């Protein structure tokens, strides 16, 4: 302990004697440790931490298919859920879930809320206890039971001000009184982004006799809890067997949907979209930390070269090698711990950015934070960095023959030069990998931003207005609300046009009903043509700036009692009527009555409904006066789109005081949201690459400066013998540029093999992109040359007389 106390005191004296060196080392390590700690906090919060549900590893989503692949979840009927509950032994219990939007009244302004309709055992399956009140019970599912709801904590605090007295209060939903029985704790938004939960008896669709007794009405999702000892593989086998038996017993139900029922654990479902991205970021920051450690190791070794005389004297006075190494390690570890402390502060300052970034991919983003596990990780990382930075230099300085070195004087050996040079090569190689990864994602982002979505998003406000079916039960009543709304908005001088549609562009659902084409043979079930169908008002194309290519748009001829007409996009025309005009052709979608045909009257430009990265799919537009389903209002204004919101709200409330508006956003915000994940990924990778290169550049500059100091006498002699400034400049820069070139070659080779790791993050760019693989080395070579030039120019200004007196 006495020796340790002496080592610590001596290390702190060294800090005070060399404040510039201390600051550079601490800042370098802080950048590496801080970045790694920040990303690890994301990995810990999203991937490593157990789910905030009881035994969350046993929760399973039955019938999960990845929506990103255009596959919707498998949905079940009430009768099927009963079959699965009784026939599958691997599950302790199964719960049902589906989500809808309902209007909640009785507290301030009407509010349209996303509502989860769940079975009485849903929260028992999830293993969730209420924050206030109680959760649902089995008796809440009885048809005659009083409808009850649970509030999420976020909605309770935001809507009701966190009033505990809300439990027991009666509100109104679907023209029925409904009682609040509890408040849920803060949890990930799973299975959906729901604000309230209602019992099955409170949903008019779920509680209807038709839904309860029909196997064809499949609208529910299933979540289960595995029994202790049961595995996901066993459950999957039993689910598959049960689905097969049901398909044989009820062939009319399964003829189009099949009976493939995949399973996924809840934890995997919550994290599968984010896992590749966050693991890539972790690999990148590990490279940054590695570069920081090698740079600091080089700085420590260079400084130890200047302290060789001190080390030799200590050895001559009786210090053994182990004692010397321990002293040097103590200094490096203390510096690393200080760097780690600063790094934790940097990590804390970046948490908001990381939470927002992760929130684009996973509902678990709110669980990211600097908890005990993350702080322990940062402490261990700092110790490891201190050991890595100090061990090799300490062994290098202590490995020489101390007695002979004391007699012959202090000289820098070629081995030490080679070691420092190797560190620079490694740093440059790692920087190349990071810069190429960042370059690929930036190039991908630029291509994504230039994609033509098929519409003009400027100055367009989108608002969801979902009319309650209990008040607007038929198409005539729906039109009687929306038509005056459109007329009054169009009369507003700030409004250029207003229209209705089923969906928001770039945010559409991947649902493609089948249809048959008149005059063509009917295809087998499920093998015929498919298209997306959307219900719009006549001014939709003008409001969104979608050009008409052929035919006409909807007009006064298209009344509710007129023959059905439709407008298709170019993708649908090209796929099903290649080389000829589709105008006048008729189709019959599967969702219309038998014998009802829709005549095509126009063709419009493609719109990317399902995201910028996806090709436009076949799509048909139907008139809202002839079809139901339009609930998105679009308003194009002469100025700022958000400024028209008060007028819209006023008109809506004049037409129906109980009608809320929801999901208010501009189309520019929609487009930015689609691009945001790619933009944030490119930003983070670019920041890591810039930090890594800045650290590498200082290392290159440092080693060239140290080389100049060691060759001061040589430079003086060459200058005295007539060497010009250009010759001296080239002599000094040669070493640094050679090391950079070696690092570039090594880095390019490694990047060629590793670039495919970012394939999932790219759009319109190949993993081995020639532009990136040429531009990055040229840029890095130019900047590294500049880093070498600064100390090299100082060398050309050395006075030969002073240089000859050196040593």
- Residue range 231-244, pLDDT digits in tens: 999 999 999 888 88
**Looking at the predicted structure, is the pLDDT value of residue 278 above 60?**
yes
Per-residue confidence (pLDDT) for residue 307, from 0 to 100: 59
Alpha carbon 320 to chain centroid, angstroms: 54
**Looking at the predicted structure, is the pLDDT value of residue 38 above 60?**
yes
- SS3 for 94? strand
Rounded Cα distance between 400 and 415, Å, is: 11
Rounded Cα distance between 354 and 367, Å, is: 11
Rounded Cα distance between 224 and 126, Å, is: 8
188-221 per-position pLDDT tens digit: 888 888 999 999 888 888 888 888 888 888 889 9
List CB contacts of 672: < 8 A, sequence separation 6 or more: none
Q: Taking the domains of the chain in order of start, what are their residue ranges?
A: 1-55+280-411, 75-261, 424-447+670-807, 466-660
pLDDT band of 18, cuts 50, 70, 90: confident
Tell me what percent of the chain is helix, strand and coil, each rounded to the nearest 5: 55, 15, 30
What does DSSP say about strands 170-173 and 91-105: parallel, antiparallel, or unpaired? antiparallel
Rounded Cα distance between 158 and 176, Å, is: 23
531-552 per-position pLDDT tens digit: 889 999 999 999 999 999 999 9
Q: Taking residues 282-302, what's their average pLDDT?
A: 84
Rounded Cα distance between 711 and 767, Å, is: 44
How many of the other CB atoms lie within 10 Å of CB of 69? Answer: 7
Number of H helices, E strands in the chain: 25, 21
Rounded Cα distance between 4 and 285, Å, is: 33
Phi, psi of 216 (to 5 degrees): -80, -25
More confident site: 739 or 157: 157
Tell the burial category of 321 from Cβ atoms under 10 Å away from its Cβ (0-12, 13-18, 19+).
Answer: middle
Per-residue confidence (pLDDT) for residue 306, from 0 to 100: 60
Q: Which of 147-161, 294-308, 633-647, 760-774 has the lowest mean pLDDT?
A: 294-308
Q: Which of 297-306, 500-509, 734-743 has the lowest mean pLDDT?
A: 297-306
242-262 per-position pLDDT tens digit: 888 888 888 877 765 456 788
689-709 per-position pLDDT tens digit: 888 888 887 777 766 666 666
Q: Taking residues 500-522, what's their average pLDDT?
A: 81
Per-residue confidence (pLDDT) for residue 410, from 0 to 100: 46
**Looking at the predicted structure, is the pLDDT value of residue 341 above 70?**
yes
- SS3 for 261? coil
Per-residue confidence (pLDDT) for residue 314, from 0 to 100: 64
What does DSSP say about strands 586-589 and 565-569: parallel, antiparallel, or unpaired? unpaired
Q: Taking residues 473-493, what's their average pLDDT?
A: 91
Q: Taking residues 481-504, what's their average pLDDT?
A: 93
**Looking at the predicted structure, is the pLDDT value of residue 515 above 90?**
no
Rounded Cα distance between 378 and 286, Å, is: 13
Q: Highest mean pLDDT range out of 599-603, 745-749, 797-801?
A: 599-603
66-100 per-position pLDDT tens digit: 665 556 678 899 999 999 999 999 999 999 999 98
Q: Taking residues 617-638, what's their average pLDDT?
A: 91
pLDDT band of 591, cuts 50, 70, 90: confident
Alpha carbon 346 to chain centroid, angstroms: 21
List CB contacts of 534: < 8 A, sequence separation 6 or more: 501, 502, 503, 508, 609, 619, 620, 621, 622, 629
Per-residue confidence (pLDDT) for residue 794, from 0 to 100: 66
Per-residue confidence (pLDDT) for residue 581, from 0 to 100: 92
Per-residue confidence (pLDDT) for residue 628, from 0 to 100: 86
CA angle 624, 625, 627 (to 5 degrees): 55
State both tokens at 95. 């719960």
Written as one string, the DSSP assignment of 136-181 is: --GGGGSTTSPPEEEE-HHHHHHHHTT-GGGTT-EEEETTEEEEEE
Residues 46/313, Cβ–Cβ less than 8 Å: no
Quote the percentage of the chain above a pLDDT of 90: 32
664-683 per-position pLDDT tens digit: 999 999 998 888 888 888 88
Residues 416/301, Cβ–Cβ less than 8 Å: yes
For the chain, give the mean pLDDT.
83
Rounded Cα distance between 246 and 537, Å, is: 42
State both tokens at 349. 């300052």
Distance from the first to the final alpha carbon of the chain: 40
> Strands, DSSP E only, in 650-722?
662-666
Rounded Cα distance between 150 and 166, Å, is: 10
Rounded Cα distance between 261 and 240, Å, is: 6
How many of the other CB atoms lie within 10 Å of CB of 395? Answer: 13
């Amino acid at each position: 302990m006495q020796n340790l106390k002496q080592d610590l005191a001596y290390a702190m004296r060294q800090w005070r004697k060399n404040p510039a060196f201390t600051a550079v080392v601490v800042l370098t390590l802080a950048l590496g440790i801080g970045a790694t700690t920040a990303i690890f906090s994301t990995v810990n919060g999203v991937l490593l931490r157990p789910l905030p549900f009881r035994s969350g590893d046993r929760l399973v989503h039955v019938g999960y298919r990845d929506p990103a692949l255009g596959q919707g979840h498998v949905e079940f009927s009430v009768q099927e859920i009963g079959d699965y509950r009784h026939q599958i032994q691997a599950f302790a219990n199964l719960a049902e879930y589906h989500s809808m939007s309902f209007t909640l009244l009785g507290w301030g302004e009407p509010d349209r809320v996303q509502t989860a309709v769940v079975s009485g055992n849903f929260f028992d399956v999830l293993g969730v206890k209420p924050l206030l009140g109680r959760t649902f019970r089995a008796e809440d599912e009885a048809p005659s039971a009083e409808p009850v709801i649970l509030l999420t904590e976020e909605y309770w605090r935001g809507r009701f001000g966190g009033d505990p007295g809300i439990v027991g209060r009666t509100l109104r939903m679907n023209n029925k009184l409904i009682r609040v029985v509890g408040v849920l704790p803060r949890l990930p938004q799973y299975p959906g982004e729901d604000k309230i939960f209602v019992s099955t008896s409170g949903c008019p669709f779920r509680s209807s006799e038709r839904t309860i007794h029909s196997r064809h009405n499949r609208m529910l999702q299933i979540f289960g809890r595995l029994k202790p000892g049961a595995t996901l593989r066993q459950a999957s086998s039993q689910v598959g067997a049960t689905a097969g038996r049901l398909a044989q017993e009820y062939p009319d139900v399964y003829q189009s949907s099949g009976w493939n029922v995949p399973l996924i654990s809840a934890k995997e479902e919550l994290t599968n979209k984010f896992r590749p991205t966050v693991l890539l970021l972790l690999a990148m920051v590990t490279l940054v930390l590695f570069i920081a450690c090698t740079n600091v190791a080089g700085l420590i070794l260079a400084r130890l070269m200047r302290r060789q005389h001190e080390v030799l004297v200590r050895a001559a006075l009786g210090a053994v090698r182990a004692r010397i190494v321990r002293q040097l390690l103590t200094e490096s570890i203390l510096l690393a711990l200080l760097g780690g402390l600063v790094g934790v502060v940097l990590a804390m300052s970046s948490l908001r950015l990381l939470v927002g970034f992760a929130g684009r991919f996973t509902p678990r983003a709110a669980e990211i934070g600097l908890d005990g596990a993350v702080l322990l990780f940062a402490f261990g990382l700092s110790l490891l960095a201190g050991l890595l930075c100090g061990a090799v230099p300490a062994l290098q300085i202590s490995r020489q023959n101390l007695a002979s070195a004391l007699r012959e004087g202090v000289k820098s050996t070629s081995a030490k030069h080679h070691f420092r040079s190797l560190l620079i090569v490694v740093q440059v190689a790692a920087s190349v990998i990071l810069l190429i990864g960042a370059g690929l994602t930036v190039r991908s982002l630029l291509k994504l931003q230039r994609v033509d979505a098929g519409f003009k998003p400027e100055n367009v406000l989108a608002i969801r207005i979902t009319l309650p079916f209990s008040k607007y039960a038929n198409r005539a009543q729906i039109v009687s609300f929306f038509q005056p709304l459109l007329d009054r908005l169009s009369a507003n001088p700030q409004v250029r046009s207003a229209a209705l549609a089923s969906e928001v562009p770039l945010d559409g659902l991947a649902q493609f009903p089948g249809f048959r084409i008149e005059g063509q043979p009917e295809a087998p079930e499920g093998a015929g043509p498919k298209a997306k169908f959307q219900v719009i008002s006549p001014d939709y194309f003008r409001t969104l700036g979608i050009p008409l290519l052929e035919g006409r748009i909807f007009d006064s001829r298209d009344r509710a009692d007129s023959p059905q007409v439709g407008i298709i996009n170019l993708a649908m025309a090209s796929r099903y009527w290649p080389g000829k005009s589709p105008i006048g052709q008729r189709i019959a979608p599967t969702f219309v009555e038998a014998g009802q045909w829709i005549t095509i009257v126009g063709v419009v430009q493609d719109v990317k409904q399902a995201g910028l990265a996806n090709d436009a799919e076949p799509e048909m537009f139907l008139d809202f006066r002839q079809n139901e389903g339009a609930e998105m209002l679009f308003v194009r204004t002469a100025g700022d789109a958000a400024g028209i919101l008060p007028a819209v709200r006023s008109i809506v409330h004049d037409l129906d005081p109980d009608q809320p508006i929801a999901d208010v956003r501009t189309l520019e915000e929609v487009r930015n949201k689609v691009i945001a994940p790619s933009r944030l990924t490119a930003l983070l990778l670019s920041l890591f690459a810039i930090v890594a290169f800045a650290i590498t550049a200082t290392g290159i500059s440092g080693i060239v400066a140290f080389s100049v100091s060691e060759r001061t006498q040589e430079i003086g002699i060459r200058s005295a013998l007539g060497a010009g400034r250009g010759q001296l400049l080239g002599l000094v820069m040669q070493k640094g540029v050679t090391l950079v070139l070696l690092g570039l070659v090594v880095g390019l080779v490694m990047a060629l093999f590793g670039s495919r790791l970012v394939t999932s993050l790219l759009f319109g760019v190949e993993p081995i992109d020639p532009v990136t693989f040429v531009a990055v080395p040229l840029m890095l070579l130019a900047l590294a040359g500049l880093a070498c030039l600064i100390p090299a120019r100082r060398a050309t200004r050395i006075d030969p007389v002073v240089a000859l007196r050196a040593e």
